[in-house]
């Protein structure tokens, strides 16, 4: 058994009582074995002295496109449909196996640097196998899937697939990668959005996700132009249509949900659909400000994502948590989204979204050791250790503060060096 002991830390547990523990955290193999004010360091393989450091659960990004990491800066100052048609879809169509691999690997390096340990990733139509390869080699915990697009005048021919090919390739990838490395990697069917998917495809995805018991990951109600197209195509509001198909259920993760009406919110609540809020992307693509305080008041499950790199030019979860809190304040007042609430969205609520709330999302004995160690003392005005760490994480931390990221008890990033299974990469 391997034992790793993190000593003298400020441990932000995000447990049900939101406790902060000052002391030590013991990892045995891939699990948290003990959290206490003092743990003896006998028979320990590795000790990390975390004096004046803060330990947090790894962030869980519930919406990202690793295939878009290489496109940063190439689609700025556009709104969603122009951005997809003029920039993102032609760029996705130009991927080959190698570029798809490196796009994923570079994105993962950036995510480790900013304390993310789990992603829900949507790949492109082709070459998703190499993205899975990068995920497998990197140690990232992930749900991922090839994007599905078999419909619509809006979609370029280079990316448009036959329905059966889209289904078959998805099932082939699922059979190859689902539950890889003891469940660290899972498959998620990824119909891109209603605009690009036929009813036949969505219906088949509904049945397959139920038969295999895997998540479905899609976009909805992001942008007003997108909603208009959905209404023209189906005669229904976006989420009402998904419910009509039978896709609105507890396995569905829906990115954005900026423009929901009350009927859609109650479908999401009653069916147990998971919302992934992506504030940076919603601002940069001029999509709007999602009504997250209202969703939380109505008891919807909301977690956080960065979306792809060209949506917000930053995969850093610190950026998203800060925006999630601050964009609501001018509209709903200073306490509408407090720091503790958004930290929970970035961790334990994300774990619930992916169905892993018993394994990840907080620092508790018996859970997987997915965490990061932060140095939040880079303030020149006062010694900040011990002063409300949750506020410091939400309102002032940046990825430069992350010293170590650990997944399944294994450091995957230490001092800016990413440790993949067969080579180290300097970030
Ligand atoms: N809607 C459909 N595809 C995409 C995408 O790649 N990014 C975003 N933000 N929205 C989408
Ligand atoms: Fe997206």
> What is the DSSP secondary-structure string of 165-217?
HHHHHHHHHHHHHTTHHHHTEEEEEEE--GGG--HHHHHHHHHHHHHHT-EEE
pLDDT digits (tens, 9 = 90+) for 201-244: 999 999 999 999 999 999 999 999 999 999 999 999 999 999 99
Ligand 1: atom nearest CA of 147 is 3
Residue 131 tokens, joined = 């993205």
* Domain residue ranges in the chain: 3-57+363-426, 59-353
Q: Which ligand is nearest to the CA of 253?
A: 2
Q: Is the dihedral of CA 6, 7, 9, 15 positive or negative?
A: positive
Binding-site annotation: residue ranges: 63, 65, 92, 219, 222, 307
How far is 137 from 53, CA to CA, in rounded Å?
28
Q: Is the dihedral of CA 126, 132, 138, 140 positive or negative?
A: positive
Q: Which ligand is nearest to the CA of 155?
A: 1
How far is 39 from 32, CA to CA, in rounded Å?
13
Ligand 1: atom nearest CA of 65 is 6
- Find residue 411's DSSP bridge partners: 406
Let me know: does 186 contact 119? Beta carbons within 8 Å. Answer: no
How far is 375 from 404, CA to CA, in rounded Å?
10
Binding-site annotation: residue ranges for substrate: 92, 222, 307
How far is 355 from 57, CA to CA, in rounded Å?
16
pTM: predicted TM-score of the whole model, two decimal places: 0.97
Q: Which of 124, 193, 282 to mutate to test the pocket of ligand 1 (most atoms within 8 A of CB)?
A: 193
Q: How far is the CA of 421 from the centre of ligand 1 (A)?
A: 31
| Assembly ipTM | 0.99
Residue 396 tokens, joined = 């002032």
Ligand 1: atom nearest CA of 287 is 9
User: Does the fold of domain 59-353 match that of domain 3-57+363-426?
Assistant: no
Q: Which of 64, 65, 72, 278 to mutate to test the pocket of ligand 1 (most atoms within 8 A of CB)?
A: 65
pLDDT for residue 386: 75
> Which residue, by CA, sits nearest to atom 5 of ligand 1?
84
pLDDT for residue 142: 98
pLDDT for residue 229: 97
Q: Other C-beta atoms within 10 Å of 136: how many?
A: 17
> Which residue, by CA, sits nearest to atom 1 of ligand 1?
219
Q: What is the β-pairing status of strands 274-277 and 252-256?
A: parallel
Q: Which ligand is nearest to the CA of 305?
A: 2
Q: Which of 107, 149, 154, 219 to mutate to test the pocket of ligand 1 (most atoms within 8 A of CB)?
A: 219
Residue for token pair 């989420």: 239
What CATH number is given for 3-57+363-426 in this structure? 2.30.40.10
Q: What is the β-pairing status of strands 116-122 and 141-145?
A: parallel
Contacts of residue 201, defined as CB under 8 A and 6 or more positions apart, other chains included, come to 148, 150, 151, 163, 166, 167, 191
pLDDT digits (tens, 9 = 90+) for 96-117: 999 999 999 999 999 999 999 9
> Which residue, by CA, sits nearest to atom 3 of ligand 1?
192
Distances (CA, A) of 275 to 19, 49, 57, 270, 426: 26, 38, 20, 13, 34
pLDDT for residue 183: 97
Among 131, 144, 63, CA closest to 99: 131
How far is 146 from 144, CA to CA, in rounded Å?
7
How far is 40 from 44, CA to CA, in rounded Å?
9
What topology is assigned to 59-353 in CATH? TIM Barrel (3.20.20)
> Which residue, by CA, sits nearest to atom 11 of ligand 1?
219
Q: How far is the CA of 357 from the centre of ligand 2 (A)?
A: 23
Q: How far is the CA of 44 from the centre of ligand 2 (A)?
A: 43
How far is 246 from 291, CA to CA, in rounded Å?
25
Q: How far is the CA of 308 from the centre of ligand 2 (A)?
A: 6
Among 157, 134, 154, CA closest to 144: 134
Binding-site annotation: residue ranges for Zn(2+): 63, 65, 219, 307
Pocket of ligand 1 (CB under 6 A): 65, 80, 84, 88, 192-193, 219, 222, 281, 307-308, 311
How far is 221 from 353, CA to CA, in rounded Å?
18
pLDDT for residue 153: 87
Residue 169 tokens, joined = 């390739």
Residues in the chain with pLDDT < 50?
Answer: 381
Q: Which ligand is nearest to the CA of 280?
A: 1
Which phi and psi angles does 90 have, rounded to 5°? Answer: -60, -40
How far is 15 from 362, CA to CA, in rounded Å?
6
pLDDT for residue 122: 98
Ligand 1: atom nearest CA of 308 is 7
């Amino acid at each position: 058994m391997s034992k790793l002991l993190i000593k003298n830390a400020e441990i932000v547990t995000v447990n049900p009582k939101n406790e902060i523990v000052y002391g030590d955290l013991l990892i045995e193999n891939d699990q948290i074995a003990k959290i206490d004010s003092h743990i003896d360091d006998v028979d320990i393989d590795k000790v990390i002295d975390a004096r004046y450091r803060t330990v947090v659960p790894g962030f869980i990004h519930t919406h990202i496109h690793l295939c878009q990491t290489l496109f940063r800066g190439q689609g700025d100052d556009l709104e969603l449909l122009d951005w997809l048609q003029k920039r993102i879809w032609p760029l996705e169509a130009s991927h080959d196996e190698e570029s798809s691999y490196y796009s994923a690997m570079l994105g993962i390096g950036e995510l480790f640097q900013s304390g993310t340990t789990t992603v829900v990733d949507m790949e492109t139509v082709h070459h998703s196998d190499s993205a899975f390869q990068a995920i497998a080699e990197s140690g990232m915990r992930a749900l991922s899937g090839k994007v599905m697009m078999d419909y619509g005048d809006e979609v370029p021919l280079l990316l448009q697939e036959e329905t059966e090919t889209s289904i078959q390739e998805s099932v082939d990838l699922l059979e190859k990668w689902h539950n890889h490395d003891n469940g660290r990697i899972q498959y998620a069917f990824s119909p891109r959005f209603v605009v690009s998917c036929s009813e036949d495809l969505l219906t088949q995805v509904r049945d397959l996700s139920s038969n295999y018991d895997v998540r479905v990951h899609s976009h909805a109600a992001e942008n007003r132009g997108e909603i208009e197209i959905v209404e023209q195509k189906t005669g229904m509001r976006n989420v009402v249509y998904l419910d009509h198909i039978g896709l609105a259920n507890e396995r569905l993760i829906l990115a954005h949900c900026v423009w929901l009406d009350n009927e859609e919110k109650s479908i999401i609540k009653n069916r147990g659909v998971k919302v992934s809020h992506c504030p940076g992307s919603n601002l940069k693509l001029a999509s709007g400000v999602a009504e997250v305080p209202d969703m939380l008041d109505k008891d919807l499950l909301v977690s956080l994502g960065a979306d792809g790199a060209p949506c917000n030019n930053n995969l850093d979860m610190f950026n998203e948590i800060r925006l999630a809190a601050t964009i609501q304040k001018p509209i709903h007042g200073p306490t509408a989204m407090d720091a503790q609430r958004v930290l929970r969205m970035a961790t334990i609520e994300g774990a619930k979204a992916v169905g892993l709330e018993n394994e990840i999302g907080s620092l508790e004995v018996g859970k997987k050791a997915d965490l990061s160690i932060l140095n939040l003392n880079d303030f020149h005005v006062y010694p900040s250790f011990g002063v409300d760490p949750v506020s410091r994480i939400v309102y002032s931390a940046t990825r430069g503060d992350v010293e170590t990221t650990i997944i399944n008890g294994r450091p995957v990033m230490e001092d800016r060096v990413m440790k993949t299974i067969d080579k180290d990469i300097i970030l």
